[in-house]
Protein backbone atom coordinates (compact mmCIF):
# COMPACT_ATOMS: atom_id res chain seq x y z
CA UNK A 1 0.00 0.00 0.00
CA UNK A 2 2.85 2.37 0.71
CA UNK A 3 4.23 1.66 -2.78
CA UNK A 4 0.92 2.72 -4.33
CA UNK A 5 0.94 5.96 -2.38
CA UNK A 6 4.53 6.76 -3.24
CA UNK A 7 4.01 6.15 -6.97
CA UNK A 8 0.77 8.13 -6.96
CA UNK A 9 2.47 10.96 -5.11
CA UNK A 10 5.46 10.89 -7.46
CA UNK A 11 3.26 10.94 -10.56
CA UNK A 12 1.24 13.81 -9.10
CA UNK A 13 4.42 15.84 -8.65
CA UNK A 14 5.54 15.30 -12.24
CA UNK A 15 2.45 16.83 -13.83
CA UNK A 16 3.55 20.42 -14.07
CA UNK A 17 3.00 23.05 -16.65
CA UNK A 18 6.01 23.31 -18.95
CA UNK A 19 8.02 26.43 -18.23
CA UNK A 20 8.34 28.93 -21.04
CA UNK A 21 10.98 31.55 -21.50
CA UNK A 22 9.77 35.04 -22.24
CA UNK A 23 10.64 36.42 -25.66
CA UNK A 24 11.45 39.91 -24.42
CA UNK A 25 11.05 40.80 -20.75
CA UNK A 26 10.34 44.45 -20.03
CA UNK A 27 12.09 45.91 -16.99
CA UNK A 28 12.64 49.29 -15.40
CA UNK A 29 15.90 51.09 -14.71
CA UNK A 30 16.53 49.14 -11.52
CA UNK A 31 17.49 46.09 -13.59
CA UNK A 32 19.63 48.02 -16.08
CA UNK A 33 22.92 46.71 -14.72
CA UNK A 34 25.16 44.88 -17.20
CA UNK A 35 25.09 41.78 -14.99
CA UNK A 36 21.36 41.25 -15.60
CA UNK A 37 21.63 42.01 -19.29
CA UNK A 38 24.43 39.44 -19.69
CA UNK A 39 22.46 36.79 -17.82
CA UNK A 40 19.48 37.26 -20.11
CA UNK A 41 21.60 37.22 -23.27
CA UNK A 42 23.31 34.00 -22.11
CA UNK A 43 19.90 32.36 -21.83
CA UNK A 44 18.95 33.51 -25.31
CA UNK A 45 16.52 36.19 -24.13
CA UNK A 46 16.64 39.70 -25.59
CA UNK A 47 16.20 42.16 -22.69
CA UNK A 48 14.23 45.39 -23.03
CA UNK A 49 15.47 47.39 -20.06
CA UNK A 50 15.21 51.15 -19.72
CA UNK A 51 18.57 52.93 -19.68
CA UNK A 52 19.55 55.11 -16.74
CA UNK A 53 19.61 58.82 -17.48
CA UNK A 54 17.46 58.50 -20.62
CA UNK A 55 13.95 59.95 -20.99
CA UNK A 56 10.89 57.69 -20.90
CA UNK A 57 10.77 57.06 -24.64
CA UNK A 58 9.91 53.38 -24.40
CA UNK A 59 7.19 53.79 -21.79
CA UNK A 60 8.91 51.47 -19.34
CA UNK A 61 8.57 52.53 -15.74
CA UNK A 62 6.09 55.35 -16.29
CA UNK A 63 3.20 53.74 -14.40
CA UNK A 64 4.70 51.42 -11.76
CA UNK A 65 1.95 52.41 -9.34
CA UNK A 66 -0.64 50.43 -11.33
CA UNK A 67 0.89 47.11 -10.25
CA UNK A 68 1.47 48.29 -6.68
CA UNK A 69 -2.12 49.54 -6.44
CA UNK A 70 -3.51 46.24 -7.73
CA UNK A 71 -1.43 44.23 -5.25
CA UNK A 72 -2.65 46.45 -2.41
CA UNK A 73 -6.25 45.89 -3.56
CA UNK A 74 -5.64 42.13 -3.48
CA UNK A 75 -4.21 42.42 0.03
CA UNK A 76 -7.52 43.89 1.20
CA UNK A 77 -8.77 40.31 1.09
CA UNK A 78 -7.47 38.68 4.25
CA UNK A 79 -7.49 35.20 2.79
CA UNK A 80 -5.06 36.30 0.08
CA UNK A 81 -2.92 38.44 2.37
CA UNK A 82 -2.45 35.62 4.90
CA UNK A 83 -2.24 32.48 2.80
CA UNK A 84 -3.13 29.32 4.67
CA UNK A 85 -4.13 27.22 1.66
CA UNK A 86 -1.74 24.40 0.90
CA UNK A 87 -3.20 23.70 -2.50
CA UNK A 88 -2.41 26.15 -5.27
CA UNK A 89 -5.73 25.62 -7.04
CA UNK A 90 -7.70 26.80 -4.00
CA UNK A 91 -5.52 29.89 -3.64
CA UNK A 92 -5.86 30.58 -7.36
CA UNK A 93 -9.66 30.26 -7.09
CA UNK A 94 -9.76 32.87 -4.31
CA UNK A 95 -7.42 35.05 -6.34
CA UNK A 96 -9.78 34.85 -9.32
CA UNK A 97 -12.74 35.69 -7.11
CA UNK A 98 -10.91 38.71 -5.69
CA UNK A 99 -10.02 39.93 -9.19
CA UNK A 100 -13.70 39.61 -10.19
CA UNK A 101 -14.78 41.65 -7.16
CA UNK A 102 -12.12 44.30 -7.77
CA UNK A 103 -13.12 44.58 -11.44
CA UNK A 104 -16.82 44.78 -10.53
CA UNK A 105 -16.17 47.59 -8.04
CA UNK A 106 -14.00 49.44 -10.54
CA UNK A 107 -16.63 49.21 -13.30
CA UNK A 108 -19.35 50.21 -10.86
CA UNK A 109 -17.34 53.29 -9.86
CA UNK A 110 -16.80 54.20 -13.53
CA UNK A 111 -20.53 53.88 -14.27
CA UNK A 112 -21.47 56.16 -11.38
CA UNK A 113 -19.18 58.86 -12.78
CA UNK A 114 -20.97 58.95 -16.16
Q: What is Dmax (Cα atoms) for the chain?
A: 65
pLDDT at residue 30, as a whole number: 72
Separation of alpha carbons 98 and 75, rounded Å: 10
- Asked if 31 and 49 touch (Cβ cutoff 8 Å), the reply is yes
Kindly provide the residue ranges of all beta strands, DSSP E only, lying in 1-114, ordered along the sequence: 26-27, 48-49
Answer yes or no: pTM beyond 0.75. Answer: no
pLDDT at residue 87, as a whole number: 87
Which of these, 52, 61, 46, lies nearest to 33 by C-alpha position? 52
**SS3 at position 97:** helix
- Asked if 29 and 61 touch (Cβ cutoff 8 Å), the reply is yes
Q: Tell me which residue range forms the domain holding 94.
A: 63-114
pLDDT at residue 18, as a whole number: 65
Looking at the structure, tell me whether residues 41 and 72 fall in a common domain: no
Looking at the structure, tell me whether residues 73 and 47 fall in a common domain: no
Looking at the structure, tell me whether residues 47 and 2 fall in a common domain: yes
Separation of alpha carbons 108 and 114, rounded Å: 10
Which of these, 9, 15, 37, 35, lies nearest to 24 by C-alpha position? 37
The pLDDT > 70 percentage for the chain reads: 70
Looking at the structure, tell me whether residues 39 and 81 fall in a common domain: no
Total domains, the chain:
2
Looking at the structure, tell me whether residues 55 and 73 fall in a common domain: no
Amino acid sequence: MSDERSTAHASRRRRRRPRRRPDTPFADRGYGHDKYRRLLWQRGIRPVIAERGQPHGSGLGIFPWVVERTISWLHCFRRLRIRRERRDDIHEAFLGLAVCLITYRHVQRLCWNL
